[in-house]
Amino acid sequence: MSRFWSPAIQSLVPYTPGEQPKVDGLIKLNTNENPYPPAPAVEAVLRHFDSERLRLYPDPDCQALKQALADDAGLARNQVFVGNGSDEVLALTFMALLRQPKPLLLPETSYSFYNVYIDLFGIDARHIPLTEDFRIDLDDYCGENGGIIFANPNAPTSISVDLAALKTLLERNTDSVVVVDEAYVDFGAASATRLVEQYPNLLVIQTFSKSRSLAGMRVGFAFGHPDLIEALERVKNSFNSYPLDMLAQQTAIAAIEDKEYFTACINRVIETRSWTTEQLQKLGFEVLPSHTNFVFTSHPQVPAAELMQYLRDNKILVRHFTKPGIDNHLRITIGTTEEMEALISCLQAHPAL
Ligand code: PMP
């Protein structure tokens, strides 16, 4: 604490991402990374990269990457924005579009980073509870507002909303921006990407960190009407006119182009998710219906905090949130088949299961 800190900084609780411990033999199922390596095309870019080129600045407009994303989504380049991970895209979105006189609507339980931005930028926010079965009911998002944001599928609950409900929301809120954070959408949910043609108030944010196995490269992006994209570009240029480094731009393009690998990798994660869900259910766990690369689960007899510690003692890391309402659940990332088999065997050996 310092007398030089602004009031916003004094009360700020910084976001703490999941642990990245360096322990040999640890099975890491706590931060929703992809268990499989990036596409072979990404490896080829890295292997053949000529380091001499690093003396040059990267393309500040990320034109080739934006074009590749636009082509992949069937949109135009001026409907695409890129940033250092979707966390940066979200930060710029809060700064550029969600600091409004009317309150921002968001789920009570969602990606906790939203609240860091809300506090940092002093945004008036109304948190809307999930339903009893942990769903986002978009009908609850009504009344005067200066914007709406939620993750779809939601995190850490893993459940998705359907596009019909989203369309109704967009039509009911034509005067505010609706931001849909689709960090996990590729694992089986319906993406709202194509709706940006129809709805100028929709901004869709995605990432290369999950389905493209590039969390270490920090590449995120947004699709939206050119006016929304321009707002993000204006704020971005005020801070850092080079949003992505050269390697991040090139590896991201390679990842988009390798469509076969992408699909195969997603399908493997989805298959492993089904298997894991079945096994957990056999052990008496309740598992929410997941469209993500993780499951959100609880056991009626054994408290989640105890299970988390038990797994940790056995070198398996999963995520437990202390937030009331979700504090008896575990969020378990879908790893490789072997990792999930080890998780299930470990749980089977628990004396109370
Ligand atoms: N949105 C959600 C819902 C997330 O869970 C995450 C990952 N923690 C992010 C955005 C940010 O991902 P990244 O910055 O790696 O793109």
Ligand 1 close to Cβ of residue 209 (< 6 A): yes
- Domains in the chain (CATH in brackets) are 13-37+260-348 (3.90.1150.10), 40-257 (3.40.640.10)
Per cent of the chain over pLDDT 70 is 100
Average pLDDT estimate for 158-169: 98
CA–CA gap between residue 323 and residue 321 (Å, rounded):
6
Split at pLDDT 50, 70, 90, the class of 328 is very high
pLDDT digit string (tens) for 41-84? 999 999 999 999 999 999 999 999 999 999 999 999 999 999 99
The ipTM value here is 0.99
Which atom in ligand 1 lies closest to the alpha carbon of residue 155?
3
CA–CA gap between residue 79 and residue 228 (Å, rounded):
8
Measured by CA distance, the residue closest to atom 1 of ligand 1 is 183
CA–CA gap between residue 42 and residue 31 (Å, rounded):
22
Is omega for the bond preceding 153 within 30 degrees of 0, making it cis?
Answer: yes
User: What pLDDT is attached to residue 31?
Assistant: 95
Ligand 1 close to Cβ of residue 41 (< 6 A): no
CA–CA gap between residue 144 and residue 352 (Å, rounded):
49
pLDDT digit string (tens) for 272-325? 999 999 999 999 999 999 999 999 999 999 999 999 999 999 999 999 999 999
Asked if the model's pLDDT at residue 182 lies above 80, the reply is yes
Split at pLDDT 50, 70, 90, the class of 352 is very high
Ligand 1 close to Cβ of residue 84 (< 6 A): no
Stretch (H or E) spanning 49: none
Asked if the model's pLDDT at residue 25 lies above 90, the reply is no
Residue 331: how many CB atoms within 10 A of its CB? 25
User: What pLDDT is attached to residue 15?
Assistant: 75
